[in-house]
Structure 1
Amino acid sequence: MSETDGIRYAVERRQQILTLARQDGRVAVNDLAASLRVAPETVRRDLADLEKQGLVQRVHGGALPVDRIGFEGTVSSRAERNQPEKARIAAKALTEIRDAEVIFLDEGSTAVMLARALDPERPLTVVTGSIPVITELSAHPRISAILLGGPLRSGSMAASGSWPARMLAEIVVDVAFIGTNGLTVERGLTCPDLGVATVKRAAVAAARRSVLLADATKFGRDSFAVFAKVPEMDLVISETSAPRMVVEQIRKQGTPVILT
């Protein structure tokens, strides 16, 4: 096995561990070692890496998924956090639609706020994999909403994986509004799930312009799966409390940053 294959296998194994933890509420080292056919020491290293990323909390003999105790949470629980900041970010994002005919709205609470604020004067097509976003748009007379299909994540109520990504590969989007769970200059943009990363990556590839919507809590954090590098974004919209050093590093890489 090459070094690249080894890294890929480790990522896939940790994703399996995270999926099992979220399904069962807890995972045990010995059970994981048996089912994955690896040594317990390998599982412990995997759990240590997942804990470092903020995805699990290790306990005696195993680990708990952090989203069960509020790390990622549901869309409704995330919507309750940083509401004024997210509302300002969504309001600024509205001005970036300009003359776009087709936009993509990512999953997440900020995207829901942006969907709620949409009131275009002329027809607008909105593509999304998020049920909460589509619900906000369904009654608007000038918005044509397209829902991407695929496996539904219960926490976000959004489609993920290769099916929605294939749909995105067949269209052209004028502006994609992308969310993130983590943003660092070194790693780029990250989220907790490989299937979600696949959709985000496809949306960026389909878009003429990509606009990142990220409140200050996302800066300086790494999550599990990388879906884009910062220079792939045409614009970052955040809030005035975002870390100045990181903001300046992003600007030095050539990506404008607007602080609301």
Structure 2
Amino acid sequence: MDTEDRRHKILGVARREGIVNVTAVARTLGVSAETVRRDLRTLEGLGLVRRVPGGAHPVESAGFETTLATRTRRYVPQKTRIAAAAADLLGAAETVFIDEGFTPQLIAEALPRDRPLTVVTASLATACGMAGRESTQVILLGGRVRGGTMATVDHWATAMLAGLVIDLAYIGANGISREYGLTTPDPAVGEVKAQAIRSARRRVLFGIHTKFGAVSFCRFAEPSQFEAIVTDTALPAAEAQRYALLGPQVIRV
């Protein structure tokens, strides 16, 4: 196996499993752990993975995006804590936009059941999960449904959002960077997120620590547009402080 083939296989593992474990991949490919580490450094330099202790995660880009099923298997305890902390920021909001994805589903579940709420979402899963609540009105944005995330996009969704004034928007991103802002692989998804931000009086950004420093294809917002960023404690305190200097409160849970 030549170098390019080996790196292609390593990237394939990252994208299929959501993570590369250096020891396991080295054993599978019959090479040293140091060889795998060198390959990961190269792949990171190309913007295809982000290294973490013991391995690496794939970076989502114009040509690759993880599926909703993959997201439900990774960092579930951390995402559950993030969702609970984000839901605690609801305040007096009566109309709420909830983004597509797995963590937004957890945020929706954590919202109070004992008060009237109107939830606007592009996510079919979130809409179905909230529709049975007695005190919750659900508005599902129309549009083309993306099979990987089961969420709607395109001009139908953005036109609906443009006609609304939302008290609070919960927004996620595939990449969160101080230099490049908030990014996502799909331009159509970026447009929905951007319109939700424009339509909202208040905005909360949430994301697991692996999203920070990652950069995807389409920029749709800046960290300074949010009142709060909710993440987990694996994001170093010093890095959290750098984001706080841009304006938002940074909450690590």
TM over 0.5: yes
1:193 corresponds in structure 2 to 186
Aligned pair 1:255/2:248, yes or no? yes
State the 4+ residue runs in structure 1 displaced beyond 6 angstroms: none
Match for 1:142: what amino acid? S
How many residues matched?
A: 200
Aligned pair 1:229/2:222, yes or no? yes
SS of structure 1 residue aligned to 2:198: helix
**1:176-197 deviation per Cα after TM superposition (whole angstroms, max 9, x unaligned):** 0001100110000000100000
1:54 corresponds in structure 2 to 48
Aligned pair 1:243/2:246, yes or no? no
Say if 1:120 and 1:99 are closer, same or farther in 2 by CA, change over 3 A.
farther
Could you say what the CA RMSD is over the residues aligned between the two structures, in angstroms?
2.2
Q: How does 1:104-253 map to 2 (within 5 A)?
A: 104-253=97-246
Contact preservation (8 Å) 1:53, 1:224: no
Match for 2:177: what amino acid? T
Q: Distance in 2 between matches of 1:240 and 1:103?
A: 26
1:37 corresponds in structure 2 to none
**1:115-169 deviation per Cα after TM superposition (whole angstroms, max 9, x unaligned):** 2223332110000000011111011101100000011111011011222111111
CA displacement at 1:52 relative to structure 2: 3.6
CA displacement at 1:213 relative to structure 2: 0.8
Match for 1:250: what amino acid? Y
SS of structure 1 residue aligned to 2:188: helix
Q: Distance in 1 between matches of 2:134 and 2:224?
A: 36
Q: Distance in 1 between matches of 2:79 and 2:158?
A: 26
Match for 1:193: what amino acid? D
Q: Distance in 1 between matches of 2:172 and 2:236?
A: 18
Q: Distance in 1 between matches of 2:213 and 2:118?
A: 34
**1:184-233 deviation per Cα after TM superposition (whole angstroms, max 9, x unaligned):** 10000000100000000000000111100111010110001001011011
SS of structure 2 residue aligned to 1:166: helix
Say if 1:196 and 1:249 are closer, same or farther in 2 by CA, change over 3 A.
same
% same residue: 40
Contact preservation (8 Å) 2:59, 2:215: no
Contact preservation (8 Å) 2:171, 2:205: yes
CA displacement at 1:66 relative to structure 2: 8.2
Structure 2 unaligned segments of length 5 or more: list them.
1-44, 50-57
1:74 corresponds in structure 2 to 67
Aligned pair 1:92/2:85, yes or no? yes
Q: Distance in 1 between matches of 2:183 and 2:239?
A: 16
